[in-house]
Amino acid sequence: MARIARLPDRVANKISAGEVVQRPASVVKELLENSIDAGASKITVAIKDAGKELIRIVDNGAGMVREDALLCVERFATSKITGVEDLDSLQSLGFRGEALASISSVSHFELKTRTAKETLGLRFRYEGGVLIEESGVQGEQGSTITVRNLFYNVPARRKFLKSNATEYTHIFEIVKSFVLAYPEIEWRMYSDDEELFHVKSPDILERLNVFYGDDFAAGMIELSEENDYLSIRGFLGKPAMQKRRKLDQYFFINRRLVQNRMLSQAVQQAYGDLLVERQTPFVLLFLAIDPSRVDVNVHPAKLEIRFDDERSVRNMFYPVVKRAIQLHDFSPDLAFTENDQLLSGQPENSAFRKLSFPDIPHRAITTGDLYRNYREGSFSEPVIPGASVHRSEIFSHQASAGYTFPESGLREADEGLSSILLAPLYDDDVVPNPKNSEPKIWQLHNKYLICQIKTGLMIIDQHVAHERVLYERAVDVMNQNVPNSQQLLFPQKVEFRPWEYEIFEEIREDLYRLGFNLRLFGNKTIMIEGVPQDVKPGTEVTILQDMIAEYQDNASKLKLDKRDNLAKSYSCRNAIMAGQKLSLEEMRSLIDNLFATREPYSCPHGRPVIIKLSLDQLDKMFGRK
């Protein structure tokens, strides 16, 4: 007797439902795709009890005649394709012909539909995939699908659904992604009879503000690039808007929402050190590519895709994103960041280092609007001899004359103010020429550099600024093998502990490239005969040991390339520390070198380097506006 038997359709549909209908959000996604494929210009989503009790999708699409309506809930029945060759030119979101059959088999399912040619609509009711009622009904053109009591006949699946808050979040995220992807469609959503949103505007930026708050769109970087192989358009979020969750990353391939690790990793790498550890940037990107180059038939959920040449896609995608990021000013405004947790960081313990930054071949120069703003910030109105002098002019004169604030920094109350107000000014016959003046810079508490710029104020963290400078120099030196060592008059001996020596052996070659001239001297002992030019004399041993400790710490917490890890460890341990007093020339040199880096707005660990405060913001703070 044969042991193998064909499963009944009802059983097969329930098994299929386990792949297609994983949770209420899966139902919403499949039904919305059908509405979009039907050409709807208005779509309404209504749910109750996070989709467990009710999911209703109403659209004004083409609707269906009776024959199509009956077939649409059959397995492998679809209007999207007719043969396997159609998969190579697929333009629709749906194509598998499984969704409605799977959904109806695990719910109380109702379909109402009417075409433009018909005066009366049709209504079909199913329980567990079995048709139990057919009738005529009045209604507008389009289709309304109602799914009640999802998984009522599959208690094991219903049992493993998450809390209402979790399931609601998944549904909302799916709907939001479609609202952003299809701005030509008017969208409305209800949850437990409460309207959540009603979006009519076709402007994607306005839709972003609806979901993320007023002025969210102002922090977007618009991106657009097209060639014969691939077109890319959309928006990237500034680093200050980064999140810990990847739900706020939307990738659409031919307007299909997808999840693709290569695209996510390429974006992450393009932002690089602008991101804080374990943070992800906001992404809303649309990629258009020949459908024959994409395989969408990977999984029943249709979220995964494969490119026929993933390397070519990445080689085109990554530079476009990287260039868009590099061309923008990422320094956060003070008003935006005053409650931002990204500004918090651990204090650094490092020694003073030189601020020199020798030229590296092929090093990129950043000459953006902010740097020009800073360089032109001193070109203010000249002081007329004999005229009354305002307090703001006292600050300007003092900086131009090379005066610095007391070592304790800008102190509060009268003592600090009096020490500034009583500082000497220029003589009447010595008036600075604004055309030849250098940018005005002050050092606050030997920790921050305050610079006057044309649009207001720029504040720089001197430690992380120097860290960025040293990091990029270290990367360039190691990659380009630029001579960077200065010999010591008296070599220094270092005795390593066993774990330190293991790390030393691992990075020994790159230490040499960086500028450390090291010679073995017995068991787990080396002699330092030369060091990079930035290492302060007398600190050679401490710096090397600190770098090895930092390297190990980074290796245990982060997945970094070996040279990148070494460069970060080197820059962290060599950068000038907070509390170190700098001369006016050192401050100017540091700022100029910072803006000569490729990414001046964040340190190698992702902390912000620059914060701006505009004159408009100051005016508002003082009640002028």
- Is residue 382 scored above 60 in pLDDT? no
pTM: 0.57
Neighbours of 88 (CB within 10 A): 12
User: What are the tens digits of pLDDT across the range 486-520?
Assistant: 888 888 888 888 888 888 888 888 888 888 989 88
Average pLDDT of span 83-93: 56
We find that the CATH architecture of domain 340-378+439-625 is 2-Layer Sandwich (3.30)
Average pLDDT of span 567-595: 87
Q: What is the pLDDT of residue 61?
A: 94
Cα-to-chain-centroid distance, residue 174: 19
Give CA–CA dist 42/188, Å, rounded: 8
Q: What is the CATH number of domain 9-201?
A: 3.30.565.10
- Is residue 7 scored above 90 in pLDDT? no
Average of per-residue pLDDT values in the chain:
77
Give CA–CA dist 514/207, Å, rounded: 49
> Comparing C-alpha atoms, which of 272, 271, 264, 256 is closest to residue 94?
256
Give CA–CA dist 66/72, Å, rounded: 10
> Comparing C-alpha atoms, which of 387, 390, 444 is closest to residue 412?
444
SS (H, E, C) 186-229: EEEEEECCEEEEEECCCCHHHHHHHHHCCCHHHHEEEEEEECCC
Which pLDDT band, with edges at 50, 70 and 90, does 350 fall under? very low
Give CA–CA dist 337/151, Å, rounded: 46
Helix 498-514 and helix 562-574, axial crossing angle in degrees, nearest 10: 90
Cα→Cα distances 287→55, 93, 602, Å: 30, 15, 29
DSSP state of 293: G
Per DSSP bridges, beta strands 517-520 and 525-532 are antiparallel
Which pLDDT band, with edges at 50, 70 and 90, does 44 fall under? very high
Pick the most confident of 361-370, 391-400, 589-598: 589-598
We find that the CATH architecture of domain 206-328 is 2-Layer Sandwich (3.30)
Polymer length of the chain: 625
> Comparing C-alpha atoms, which of 427, 500, 475, 457 is closest to residue 618?
457
Percent share of the chain, pLDDT over 70: 72
Give CA–CA dist 604/601, Å, rounded: 10
**Dihedrals φ, ψ of 27, to 5°?**
-60, -45
- Is residue 20 scored above 70 in pLDDT? no
User: What are the tens digits of pLDDT across the range 173-202?
Assistant: 999 999 999 999 999 999 999 999 999 999
Average pLDDT of span 398-418: 35
Cα-to-chain-centroid distance, residue 37: 31
Average pLDDT of span 565-578: 85
Higher pLDDT, 567 or 341: 567
C-alpha torsion 26→29→35→37, nearest 10: -110
> Comparing C-alpha atoms, which of 394, 402, 396 is closest to residue 379?
396
Cα-to-chain-centroid distance, residue 353: 33
Higher pLDDT, 455 or 112: 112
Residue that has been written with the tokens 């300007």 in this structure: 396
Q: What is the pLDDT of residue 232?
A: 94
Q: What is the pLDDT of residue 125?
A: 96
Give CA–CA dist 563/542, Å, rounded: 20
Q: What is the pLDDT of residue 62?
A: 92
Identify whether the C-beta of residue 265 lies closer than 8 Å to the C-beta of residue 221: no
Give CA–CA dist 249/237, Å, rounded: 10
The terminus-to-terminus CA distance of the chain in angstroms comes to: 90
C-alpha torsion 233→239→244→246, nearest 10: 10
Give CA–CA dist 471/560, Å, rounded: 14
- Which residues have a Cβ under 8 Å from the Cβ of 242 and sit 6 or more positions away? 275, 276, 279, 280, 281, 282, 342
Average pLDDT of span 392-421: 34
Residue that has been written with the tokens 């960086």 in this structure: 514
Q: What is the pLDDT of residue 426?
A: 34
Cα-to-chain-centroid distance, residue 364: 23
What is the tally of helices (H) and strands (E) in the chain? Answer: 19, 22
- Is residue 79 scored above 70 in pLDDT? no
Domain assignments of the chain as residue spans, ordered by start:
9-201, 206-328, 340-378+439-625, 381-437
DSSP string, 511-535: HHHHT-EEEE-STTEEEEEEEETTS
> Comparing C-alpha atoms, which of 602, 533, 610 is closest to residue 574?
533
Per DSSP bridges, beta strands 130-137 and 194-199 are unpaired
